[in-house]
Structure formats: structure tokens, C-alpha cells
Chains A and B, each alone.
Chain A
Amino acid sequence: MPLLDVRNLTTYYMTRRGPVRAVEDVSFAVEKAQAMGLAGESGCGKTTIALSLLRILPPEGKIVRGQILFEGKDIVKMSEKELREHIRWKGIALIFQGAMNALNPVYKIKEQIVEAIKIHEPNVTKREAEERAKKLFELVGLDPSRVDNYPHEFSGGMKQRACIAMALACNPKLLIADEPGTALDVVVQAQILKLLRELKEKLSISLIVISHDLSLITETCDTIAIMYAGKIVEFADIVEMFKKPLHPYAQALIESFPSISSKKYKFVSIPGAPPNLLNPPSGCRFHERCKYAMDICKKKEPEFKEVSKGHFVACHLVGG
């Protein structure tokens, strides 16, 4: 049984102009001690998935249907109390995009970590929590004596490490990192990616890395899901995905990434812009920008089917 099994998750934002279909019929699974990458352009629903997993959507966000099975239990059906006691922070921890800039500037880092521990594990004493904060600092490669610092005394990379430490405070089984590399310099970004890889090995936790940057996902993940306009268009093992992408969008996205090690870069781009999700295109949501679009693509939505073991794709071109 996979640690996390998401089936047909559908999340809409109810706006006055109608529902924004941010995530629709998304299915994927994350095994224990495995890392999955969630890639796609801005506005494709990556973060909405993360918020749905923890049920921390803004008021207008609604999980319309689907199941989120975490260790076999459905998160969608849980009460707030159950979520707080078993899932948030203890089961699944989320490092928000730009979390390092959201640390409270008037509290010491230690106090912020202790607060998180105390809320989710009321039985832990303050001293124990402080000890744990120090251990966490060591784990993420920070000097434990610096738990008494304020956020402004930390550099960007150190703040990101502190955020990772905080996310690990209650021993989660799954860690979600939303754009862990943005706003960091390449050198620091490489250090953070290395830390995530090491933590996965050391603590054997599962990881979901959300990023628009495919190269960042290849550095950390075992499997990858590529999203477009609220749908997962392809899901596969990372090596397989790069060797043999099947969906035209996945192909174009992979090709559009310049690599420092490659000889030539063709400046490939996808014409047009992602659709408005208030009124997504009929049939396959990518058909307007797809160079292989056929008649059926406009009419019928392609099924998300397994073409070879562990390789799923939603395209009329594949598998007849």
C-alpha cells in the first residue's frame, strides 16, 4: 500500500463568476521513502494539490470529489480534530513557497519551532521541545547554538534550512516542499536540494517537490507528475519520463529546458498561453496549443491510463 494514494481529486475555487476548476480528476501515489516531483507552469494547480492534501484551502476552495488516502485513511472525510491530531505536521508537513520569508521577525527561531511542537503534541514539555529544536537544527546542518537567533540574523539559505527543520518538528511521514529553490541562488539552491536528498535517506520520509523547474525535480525525485491546466497529463519514473516522454506537453516542456551540459539548445517554446480555468477548453485541455491535435482531442477528454508499468499518460495519441 502506498503511503499516499490520491484518487480523482477535484478541487474548485468557487468564485462569483463560477467555479475555477483548478484541479480536476488528479490521481497519483507516493510510496514510502520515495520522492515525487510535481511539475508544471504557474497556475496549473500544483499548489492547490498541496493545500488540498492538508485540507487548508482558502474558504472558497472546495474539494468537490475524490479521495486522499493517507496510510489507508481518507483525508477528505476526516474531521478538523482528526486532521490536527494525526495529519497536519505529524503525518504531512508542508513548506510553503517563500516560507523562509514568512518567519515571524519578532520571535526567535526556537520559539517558532517550539510553538509548532506544542500545538501538535501538547504533552511535550517546553524544555523537551527546545531540545528537539536544537536536534532539528543539527539535522538540517545549522549550528544548534543559533536557535536563539532571530530570523533577520539568518541568510536566505539558513532561513530555508530553519523552515525545513520546523517542518520536520513532529516527525512527519511526508514532506511537501513548494518551490524550495526559488528566491535562492544556484549555489545555495544546490545545498538545499542536497539536504532534501539526505533527509529522505536518513529519515526515510516521503517527499513531494513542487516546482516549475524540471531540473530541480530531476535532482531530487524518483517519480514525476507533469501537470497542465489542472490535470496531470503524464506520470512516470523520472528516468523514463526524460527518456521517453509521451504527452506532447511533457515533450515540449522537457525540450524547452536549456541544459548547461548540452551542446545545443533549440529555443523550443509552446505557442499560446495556458487556458482560463473558469472555462477550460473542451476535450483535452491542451488541444489548443498542441501541434498534434486531432478532431477527437476537441471533443473527448483523454483517459489517464497506464501505458507501461508505472507510466501513465492522458493523450489520444497514445495507446490508440
Chain B
Amino acid sequence: MSETLLKVENLKKWFPLKLGFFRSLVSKKLLYVRAVDGISFDIKNEEIFGLAGESGSGKTTTGRCILRLIEPTDGRIIFEGRDITKLTPDEMKSFRRRMQIIFQDPYESLNPRMTVEDIVAEPLRILRIANSEDEIIAKVKEILTKVGLTPPEEFMFRYPHELSGGQRQRVAIARAFVINPKFVVADEPVSMLDVSIRAEILKLMLSLTKEYRSSFLYITHDLALAKHLCNRIAIMYLGKIMEMGTTEQVIDNPLHPYTKALIAAVPIPDPTARRSEVVIKGEIPSPVNPPSGCRFHTRCPSVIGEICRKEEPELIEIEKGHFVACHIYSKK
């Protein structure tokens, strides 16, 4: 568990903003949406790492950059000791055998014109992992059984529209795990599913990660789930990591005012629980023009002075493995 599998260093993704024709004549400088603005973290072998935050905080962009589904603007992604940001698409192919993604919406991530067999076999074919058609079929059957679509013969020739949401997500999981990946990005894999089947899908993903000894980057907005699923968590806000540490450190002993507010806002399914008041107002600002200094200062209930507006706080280690980017702690 100790060895580092993936290291992300100062990752940035700025999307250029398209201006209208006339505005582009007037405005001299290019505008960017700073979706991810310099984040660093590492994921160890067989670890489940959670990336949490509100929508628009850059979680999904980070996940896609790591797999190079979109090209990062700057920064390094070191996978198994090699910087993969500079690899050509051909060189990338050998890495793609070890990394996979499960998307949020199983209604959109499966091609409606392909059968379950074709969908699950596609990565094997593209990456030329199996030697023969028989081997491909055998692998598809094996993984379908593992994800609980049994008997596999009954599901292989169906189309996605014949499956329920939970079954579709199982197909997406089968597609990800069929190539025995070292690293899987799961982007809100259960948020579209009904509550009663969520737990089953999560259990399935947990058992598969254990069996294949893969690492998991779990992208979510649901802190309650993240708490029970992840080993470590990073909280993102406007393209920056605000706090990072083990799940116990971040959820049970949050330090950053944003993390505290986020946790206080999570509804508790217990009517006798004491409700904490909502402490932050407003909504996440635009990433085109993020606030100066600490990005959270416009909504922060515990601003300590000019420093918050002027200087950007660095992510510093407060206790072993627990990082916070806040001026309240950088003073000490």
C-alpha cells in the first residue's frame, strides 16, 4: 500500500474562452477558464483516493487530465515512475492498458448500437490484449460473471436499452476491469442510480479493486459516501486543493473553513441529529476570474485579514499526511 503509483505535480488545465467576434476585436488578452489551477497529489498502490468538491471545482477535469482524455495545460503526471504528459499517442497506448475510467451516466457512456459483448470486448480489441476471438469471448464472460451479470450468455447479446440503470453501470464496470487495470478513475459512478442499488454497485467496485489490486480515483460530491469508501480525500475548490489527508483527518477533523462548511452542509439522515447552521453564503464564483489571494475568501466565514485577499495560501502539512491551504494555519 505504501508505494506510489501515480504522482500529479502542479497539474493545470486552462480552457480558452471563446469570445464572440466583436468582443474578440475589443479584448486584447485571451481569457481562460481555469478549471484546474495547479494541483499536486499522489495515489498509492491499492489506494482509494477521493476527490471531492462542489460542481465546477475541477474534479472531473482532473480525472480526465490524468488519463489524458484531455490534454493538460501544464504540470506533470507520473505514472509508475514515468511522466506520461509528454508521451505520443502511440506510446500512450501501453499505458492505457493499465488505466480505465467509469463515467457518471451509464445512460450516455454506453453506445446504444453495440451489444454488451461488443462494449466489454472493445478495450480488449483496441488494445490488442487478447490473442484470439475465443480468448476475448472467454474474458468477456468471466468479467460479466464477476460483475454479477449472470448468466453472461443472457446479457452478452443485449443492447444497453434493454438493461436497467444498475445493470448498465455494471457493464461500464466490466468494460473498465476487463483489461485488469492498475488504476481506475470513477467519476460519480453511482450518483445517477437509485439509493437501494447504490450500495451494491459500490460493493462490487470495492471487491474488484481488491481482487485486481488496482488503485481508484473516486470523484464525488457526496462526502457521506466518500467517508465510507476512501482511504484518503482531497477537497477541491475552484481548481485548487484546499485540504488533503486521510479520510479520518479530513472528515472527522477538518481544518479548512471550506471543508468545515461543506461537511456542515451535508444533510444527515437522522431526525434527532443536531443540525448545524449553514455558515457560508452564495455560490462558487466563476473560474474565469477567480478571486485574488485565497479563492475562498469571498465566502469564507473566518477571513483573518488583508492576507486572505492578497496572498494565495500554500498547501502545507499540518500533521503527518494532513495538508491544508489556509492562512489561519500557515501563520503557526
Contact = CB atoms under 8 A, between A and B. Distances in A.
Interface of A: 41-42, 155-158, 181, 185-191, 193-194, 212-216, 218-219, 238-239, 241-243, 252-254, 256-261, 264-265, 267-271, 273-274
Interface in B182-210: 194-200, 202-203, 206
B54 interface: yes
Given A187-B283, A242-B270, A259-B268, 8 more contacts: A185-B221, A190-B278, A212-B194, A239-B271, A260-B251, A260-B268, A261-B273, A264-B228
Interface string B166-185: 10000000000000000000
Nearest to B273: A261
A274 B202 CA distance: 19
Interface of B: 54-55, 164, 166, 194-200, 202-203, 206, 221-225, 227-228, 251, 261-273, 275, 277-278, 280-281, 283-284
16 contacts: A157-B283, A158-B283, A185-B284, A187-B278, A193-B267, A212-B195, A213-B195, A218-B270, A218-B273, A219-B268, A238-B271, A242-B271, A256-B195, A257-B224, A269-B196, A271-B200
B221 to A, nearest CB: 7
A308 B194 CA distance: 30
Given A218-B270, A242-B270, A261-B273, A189 B265 contact: yes
A13 B206 CA distance: 40
A269 B271 contact: no
A219 B267 contact: yes
A260 B227 contact: yes
Nearest to B203: A267
A186 B262 contact: yes
Which 5 interchain pairs have the tightest Cβ spacing? A269-B199, A215-B267, A265-B228, A190-B265, A215-B269
A186 B265 contact: yes
A256 B265 contact: no
A213 B202 CA distance: 18
A254 B272 CA distance: 14
Contacts of B268: 215, 218-219, 259-261
Given A194-B278, A260-B251, A270 B202 contact: no
A212 B224 CA distance: 16
A254 B269 contact: yes
A274 B198 CA distance: 14
A306 to B, nearest CB: 21
